[in-house]
Amino acid sequence: MSTILKIAVIVTLVSLLVIVAAGCKKVSAPWESMALSSIVSDPIRVNIPVNATSNLTISAMYSKISAGDITTGSGGFKVITNNLTFKSSNEAIAVVNGGLVRGITAGSGNISVSYSEGNITKKTDVPFTITAPPGT
């Protein structure tokens, strides 16, 4: 193969690569093109006896962004583990550490959960009931 032909093949291949690269778009996770709309807990209510535990799994719910406005429906969700804060309304009854709720004594209250993403913060309350152990 002559040198001129080799150069022509290389120039053609480089040109094709530039054209293909220019047509490529960034592929992102579905929630990157959506707005955070709320957070939800699983379970939605904690009912446990004294000295038992229950783990809260928190999911972020998203709405699609359309023409600068949020369009409801057809959104998405993801389980979140970072940027979460948990607080018990009554730590004498139940304590929470990183989403793990532990019953201390019989009673009820709420676990307040807060999640921040960028400049958006969403909150939810998870009601809890702690029951006396069986036989007491």
pLDDT tens digits, residue range 100-119? 999 999 999 999 999 998 88
Angle, CA of 118, 98 and 91, to the nearest 5°: 115
pLDDT recorded at residue 33: 62
Q: Quick one: which of 40, 72, 44, 43 has its CA closest to 59?
A: 40
Between CA 75 and CA 85 the distance in angstroms is 24
Domain 31-131 has CATH 2.60.40: yes
Q: Are the CB atoms for 129 and 99 separated by under 8 Å?
A: no
Q: Are the CB atoms for 105 and 92 separated by under 8 Å?
A: yes
Domain boundaries, the chain: 31-131
pLDDT recorded at residue 74: 53
If one counts every other C-beta atom within 10 angstroms of the C-beta of residue 123, the result is 12
Q: What is the pLDDT of residues 37-90, one digit of tens each?
A: 999 999 999 999 999 999 999 999 988 765 444 444 456 788 998 999 999 999
